[in-house]
Structure formats: C-alpha cells, structure tokens
Amino acid sequence: MAIGLILGTSRTKSNSRILADALLKGTEHQILDINEISLLDFEDSRHESVPVSLDESSQTLMNFLLEHNVIVIATPIYWYGIPGKLKVLLDRLSHVFRQPDFKKQKPREVIILAVGGDQPRIKGLPLILQFQHIFDFVDIPFQHYVLAEGNKPGDVSYDQRALAEVAWLREYMMKRENYEGQI
C-alpha cells in the first residue's frame, strides 16, 4: 500500500489529526500512532563493539518505512520542534538507516504536516530545516510541508490557508499515485 501516516500527537482530538484526515480521507493508508507504541528511550549504541539488535520500536519504525511509498508525518509543534515522544521514535533512525533492507527500499517521498500555536509559518521553520537535514541524510526526497496554526483542539479548521495547501497536496498525491499506478 502506498501511504503511511506517522501521527506524532498525544491528543485524541488533535489538530494534526484533523489536518492528516483532510489530506488522506478516503485513501487507503496505514497509521503508526505514537501513542500506541511503548517507547523506552533510545540507547546510543553506535559505538558499542557488539552490534545491537533492533529493539521493538526500531523494528516497527523500519517496517513502516519499508512498507510505504509515501510517508506523511502529522505532528504538533511542541516548543518549536518535534514532540519528545515522536523524537524518541525518530532517534531510532540511527539503527534503522544502517539496515541493508532500508538502503534498498526507501519511501520515495516524505511530507510533513505540523501544527503550532505561535506563528507556525515563521517560527516553525527551524523544524522544517531540521527535517531537511534528516531526510537529506537518509536520502529520502522531502519537498512538501504544511505549517498550520492551531492551539486549542479544533483550531486548525479555521486556518484557511493551511486547508488550501492540504487540499492542493491531496490532489498532488492522488495524481502522482494514479500516474504511477498506470505504469
């Protein structure tokens, strides 16, 4: 299946979920919900003499990346960056990107939807710059993101610009999938 959605929110009725739904409603997609996996902290074992086997969360992350062509990360912006728990998961990329399987079969695009309460289109840019470096490093194309405004649950429904961008992205994804499906 083509689309995998990583949900970085700890709320059930979250703004980032609303945005993800607007993008993916009616499409076939799978969800990796940060709330449904148990995360011990990432152990930095890059320099251990004995190779460390992938822990459960790293395995979950790797499988999810391998199984989808397009990865959408929908997340609130906490303190101008990636929420802690989502970052604990993404830190596991240190294990994942070393796996031979990952090198052979990466997603061909990643899309970021991020919702923040304090001028997200400006103050969310360090987050986008960080994701640029992350996806450059693991060599997954990243060119589309939406920075949306929302503080209280549901707020994002009033960010008409974000909704227009998501509507455009939805069309873009549909076209791309169909086109490639025909080949």
Residues of the shown chain interacting with a second copy in the complex, contacts defined by CB under 8 A: 9-11, 39, 41-44, 47, 76, 78-91, 93-94, 118-119, 121-123, 125-130, 132-134, 137, 142-145, 152-153, 160-161, 164-165, 167-169, 172
Whole-angstrom distance, CA of residue 173 vs CA of residue 70:
9
Measured from the CB atom, is 1 or 103 closer to a second copy?
Answer: 103
Asked if residue 72 lies in contact with residue 5, where contact means CB atoms within 8 angstroms, the answer is yes
Distance of closest approach, residue 41 Cβ to a second copy, in angstroms: 4
Whole-angstrom distance, CA of residue 36 vs CA of residue 1:
21
Measured from the CB atom, is 1 or 180 closer to a second copy?
Answer: 180
Measured from the CB atom, is 122 or 183 closer to a second copy?
Answer: 122
Asked if residue 24 lies in contact with residue 90, where contact means CB atoms within 8 angstroms, the answer is no
Question: For residue 69, what is the DSSP state?
Answer: S
Distance of closest approach, residue 75 Cβ to a second copy, in angstroms: 12
Question: For residue 46, what is the DSSP state?
Answer: T
Asked if residue 60 lies in contact with residue 32, where contact means CB atoms within 8 angstroms, the answer is yes
Sheet holding 70-76: strands in order across?
Answer: 29-33, 3-7, 70-76, 109-116, 142-149
Distance of closest approach, residue 24 Cβ to a second copy, in angstroms: 18
Whole-angstrom distance, CA of residue 18 vs CA of residue 178:
24
Distance of closest approach, residue 57 Cβ to a second copy, in angstroms: 11
Measured from the CB atom, is 3 or 173 closer to a second copy?
Answer: 173
Whole-angstrom distance, CA of residue 95 vs CA of residue 42:
10
Distance of closest approach, residue 124 Cβ to a second copy, in angstroms: 9
Measured from the CB atom, is 1 or 33 closer to a second copy?
Answer: 33
